[in-house]
Structure 1
């Protein structure tokens, strides 16, 4: 039996991971903005679920909940950071508040969660951190600039600290799913439209979202149960995989993006060398 701390556990991938862990006999410290939405799993698995309200934009609350979880569970083997939200709109359409929320939920919150759990993981001699990211941390699309910025940002942070925490037996994995059949689309923050963008790619994205009725992922190829199973399985892989690209759409999109960037870098090889001091 292992013990997990899961944020964003009340819906989507977080919910699927929580339910599969409990069904397999593990114990879960499950958090959500409204932990009452986890009451059904508490009843189904009495004694195996520890719950707490947690808004990941509240750094003080993160530290308090993490401290309580480690104190009451004794040891946490895996921290699954899964809370997140999307914002849609052209860069100039987004309000200051929407930009701040994207950074707080998708980047600053996960960063502060990692900072809060690291002392406990070091003290217990190791553990695993798994961060839900997205294929959107490797690719980008019009109308989602701040979503991509926040996801690229949190991956930059995690990439940097992998080497910092490895000496303490702490592994880090970034999960990059493609489109998965969850309720993600229903929780989007959508900016007020500027007519100037109506005939642009941003306008086309907006039309697609409005036409979906909030069910953006209804025909998505990604199966949340299989995504959850892959995430759980990764926790026992040694060494920790740096990234999990999950979904055929994610694989194709990420591979194309990385290949394209590599071609651009290679095309500039001579120019790069020309800016050095002469030998």
Structure 2
């Protein structure tokens, strides 16, 4: 039996993971802002489901709830950072409050949970962290600038953390689901539209979403299953891309970035001091 700690379990991947894990006999510490949303699962699975209210943007609360979960359940094998918030707006359209919320939730909130869990994971000498990101953690789409800022940020943080915590027997994997019908898209926060952007890529993406042309090719249940299978396998890749759109979009972005990077080689080396011998 494996014990999991999962944030953002009221819906989407968090809820699917919680249901799947409880159904197979695991224990889950499920955290969310509205604990009553899991009343049905609490009634069905009893003490194998530990539920707590958690707003990940509150660092003090994150440390307290994580400590309470370890105290109540003993060893926790897997920590899943899943809670998230998205704002759909051109960079000039979003409000200061929306910008703060997306950074506070997706970047700082994830950091709070990881930092809260690490002392406990180090003490027990093992553990896994799954950081839910997105294809948008390595590539970009118009109207998602602030979402990308948070996801590119947490991926950079996790790359660093993974190297630091590996000697303690703690693995970290960044999970990158593609576009999936989980309800997240309909829950995206929006801002007042500026007509100046109608004829730009931002306007095109807005129309595609409104018309239903924006494809959601992935199966949410299969993504949750892939995350569980990864833990069961014992593998600890730094990244787990899930979805053909994720794979292809990220690959195209990496190829383009490498080509652009290589094109700047001469100017990069042109600023090196003459005393440095080129290797």
Q: Is the 8 A contact 1:135 1:245 kept in 2?
A: yes
1:39-62 residue CA offsets vs partner (Å, 9 max, x unmatched): 111112122100011111111111
Q: Distance in 2 between matches of 1:239 and 1:170?
A: 12
Deviates more, 1:120-129 or 1:200-209: 200-209
Q: Distance in 2 between matches of 1:105 and 1:276?
A: 41
Match of 1:61 in 2: 61
Q: Does 1:250 align with 2:246?
A: yes
Q: Is the 8 A contact 1:234 1:241 kept in 2?
A: no
Query: 4+ residue runs of structure 1 moved beyond 4 angstroms?
Result: none
CA RMSD of aligned residues (A): 1.4
Q: Distance in 2 between matches of 1:13 and 1:4?
A: 14
TM-score, normalization by structure 1: 0.95
TM-score, normalization by structure 2: 0.95
1:34-82 residue CA offsets vs partner (Å, 9 max, x unmatched): 1111111111212210001111111111111101100000110000110
Match of 1:20 in 2: 20
Q: Distance in 1 between matches of 2:202 and 2:36?
A: 37
1:143-169 residue CA offsets vs partner (Å, 9 max, x unmatched): 111000000001111101111111111
1:157-191 residue CA offsets vs partner (Å, 9 max, x unmatched): 11011111111111100001111121001211101
SS in 1 for 2:172: strand
Deviates more, 1:113-122 or 1:257-266: 257-266
Match of 2:89 in 1: 89
How far 1:239 sits from its partner (Å)?
4.4
- Which structure 1 residue ranges, 5 or more long, are not aligned? none
Q: Distance in 1 between matches of 2:114 and 2:2?
A: 19
- Which structure 2 residue ranges, 5 or more long, are not aligned? none
Matching of residues 118-133 of structure 1 within 5 Å: 118-133=118-133
Matched residue count? 275
